[in-house]
Structure 1
Amino acid sequence: MEKEDYLSRAKEHLFMTGINDSATKLCFANMTYGIAKIQFLQEKLGLSLDATFISTLDATITRNVERWKNGFGYGGKIEWGDGALELIILDVLPNACGMLVGGLEELPEIENLIDKITKLSVKTSDIKVEGIKVIWDFGKGNHFIDVFKVRNIAGIEDFPPYMFIVHGAGDELRDDNQRGYGL
């Protein structure tokens, strides 16, 4: 198979859900190469060519030059195999970012929220979770916390009045720590 065939097949395994801005378009262009590389490897190993990328709404490019050259963007899920396959793609350079979505019955008091954020965000904070010092990583890169009022436009009654989205990473887990090896 020719290079263009691999790239064409990879494009069929990219599912972009973003707003089609320039960051999403660049992510798509670069992820084409990353997925093609994984599918090439799958072919050489006699595996099903099922490597797929499903983007999140914030799909974007990486500022990590090595990751960019490897053909991978940020903001989505890369998957291959059936979940039991012992195959790790080192070129992906995972950074352990993730998103958490949840519901709130009521909004927190703004003063209380500001107080908690201030305590967490100062470099001298000694707040720990399971013995590991928390490192605040919001407000840099594409990490954020947002709260929304839910509008019931679909007629679904089961949602709480407010929802939140948190997108961040466990910076405190990147290096070895008292809980084990780092990421």
Structure 2
Amino acid sequence: MKYELRKGYPLKREEFDERMKNAEKYLFSLGVNDPAEEVGRTNALFYLAKIHYIQEKLGYKPQGMFIGAPDFTFQTTPHKFYGSVPEGGKIIWGDGSYDLILGEMEFDFCGMLVGAVKNDPDLEEILDTLYKMKEKNLEIGGRKIGLRNFSQGSHFLNLYEVKNYEVLDLPKVVAVLHTSSDEMRDLLIKFVRERSEETQTPFGESCVLQGDNAREYERLCKYASEFSRRKRKLLFEEIFGSSEIIANHNHYELTGLNEAIIGCNIISKRGEVFVITLSDNLSAYLVKGKMNISPEKIEEIVSSPREIERWVYKKLRKANILPHGGGHKLNEIDSVAKVILYPDGKVIISKCESKTGTSAYVNMKEISRSYRSEGILDRVRSLKLGDHYAALRFIHGIKVDF
């Protein structure tokens, strides 16, 4: 990657190159190696460099690494992209003993539930049920839950027919609820705003939580994680009644004091079931996770495995990672030509072989994009991250809130 430093950038060229080279040593990708991943890698490298810089400043041994899942891509939220927050992977910034959390990740505890639908689903009946739900005061632990759950962003309520369901001993029809927990996200954003220390780095600003504040934030995140799963289950039962829950996982949350997942799934036990949604014909798949990454597969993704530090190798062996979907795909960009660094931000210069000239972006919000459909399941299989369990055929999609 080519970087250009403009006048006033706070690092000299030699130190900048050294820090970026060091960050590259701690970025590992299981992705599909397309232009979207290239943009994602660029942001992830800046975030790792930011983590290392902050840790040095605070007196910690620099420990930061990122493991990109097969759906490794980029953030579309402008301020997160500006802050170099990665997307589609697992971020680690210590051994679990550092009282340190960077608050700009803004966890929303997004995730997906898969539940059995007992009767043949009728789209209009489901819509009527959603409409009536607005009259209810649904609560979890005394906290009222919001009812804007399916219409925003990439969230949805979809229904699928399970192919070969009888052979697989699965229900004929399942519902997939893709929701987050804005109730807890907003509470935690307020916590970060009030308790964090704004820290300037050459790689962007950070909202640093330390000591008791970091521990309290972790405690709140644990509650929010469970709240989000309970919320999805409550919504499912309000719409479809009590039925079997096949899977219910968050894919954007703090998973430890020094660890988080940002747009990927984490396996806690072999055979655990997850859903992966892809864009081609709105298909989806159930996958049984495997504990990963195996030593053989680490050798495939790392050019010099013997040179990996011991703590890094241990984290790779216990990555236990799966994609949650296809991840963003770029429609008009073939590669990143270079990144221009200004004192207060970065500009990505992209090129497209099918057009003359180049384009400049400060974020990816308005860029032409879609979702990947190819290569994701192939990577899951080839890297032995999980086993294909069932294919789901799309029936209905609902992006409606009342």
* Alpha-carbon distance in structure 2 between the residues aligned to 1:78 and 1:138: 27
- Flag the 1:89–1:169 CA change in 2: closer, same or farther, 3 A: same
1:70-92 CA distances to partner (integer Å, 9 max, x unpaired)?
A: 211323332211223211213x3
- Say whether residues 1:124 and 2:152 are aligned partners: no
- Say whether residues 1:168 and 2:168 are aligned partners: no
| Partners of 1:24 and 1:59 within 8 A in 2 | yes
Q: Which residue of 2 aligns with 1:30?
A: 43
Instruction: Tell which deviates more after alignment, 31-40 or 124-133.
Output: 124-133
**RMSD (CA atoms):** 3.9
Shift of residue 149 of structure 1? 5.0
| Partners of 1:100 and 1:165 within 8 A in 2 | yes
Q: Which residue of 2 aligns with 1:73?
A: 86
Whichever residue aligns with residue 128 of structure 1, its letter is: L
| More contact order relative to length (CA 8 Å, sep ≥ 6) | 2
2:45 is paired with a residue of what secondary structure? helix
| Partners of 2:109 and 2:185 within 8 A in 1 | no
Q: Which residue of 1 aligns with 2:152?
A: 140
| Partners of 1:59 and 1:75 within 8 A in 2 | yes
Q: Which residue of 1 aligns with 2:107?
A: 95
| Partners of 1:126 and 1:133 within 8 A in 2 | no
1:64-122 CA distances to partner (integer Å, 9 max, x unpaired)?
A: 322212211323332211223211213x33232433576x6x66434168745764488
Q: Which residue of 2 aligns with 1:155?
A: none
* Alpha-carbon distance in structure 2 between the residues aligned to 1:4 and 1:11: 11
Shift of residue 36 of structure 1? 0.7
| Partners of 1:135 and 1:171 within 8 A in 2 | no
* Alpha-carbon distance in structure 2 between the residues aligned to 1:95 and 1:62: 13
Q: Unaligned stretches of 5+ in structure 2?
A: 1-13, 192-219, 222-402
Whichever residue aligns with residue 74 of structure 1, its letter is: E
Paired positions, count: 170
TM-score if structure 2 supplies the norm length?
0.34
Which of residues 20, 23, 40 is equivalent to 2:33?
A: 20
Instruction: Tell which deviates more after alignment, 119-128 or 16-25.
Output: 119-128
| Partners of 1:16 and 1:55 within 8 A in 2 | yes
Q: Which residue of 2 aligns with 1:154?
A: none
- Flag the 1:67–1:114 CA change in 2: closer, same or farther, 3 A: same
| Partners of 2:134 and 2:147 within 8 A in 1 | no
* Alpha-carbon distance in structure 2 between the residues aligned to 1:75 and 1:57: 8
Q: Unaligned stretches of 5+ in structure 1?
A: 152-158
Whichever residue aligns with residue 71 of structure 1, its letter is: S
1:120-169 CA distances to partner (integer Å, 9 max, x unpaired)?
A: 48893636241422434335333356668589xxxxxxx97479876532
Higher share of residues assigned strand: 2
1:13-62 CA distances to partner (integer Å, 9 max, x unpaired)?
A: 22333333433221111111011110122223332322122234443322
For the pair shown, the structure with the greater C-alpha radius of gyration is 2
Shift of residue 2 of structure 1? 1.6
Which of residues 105, 117, 121 is equivalent to 1:111?
A: 121
* Alpha-carbon distance in structure 1 between the residues aligned to 2:151 and 2:101: 31
* Alpha-carbon distance in structure 2 between the residues aligned to 1:21 and 1:118: 42
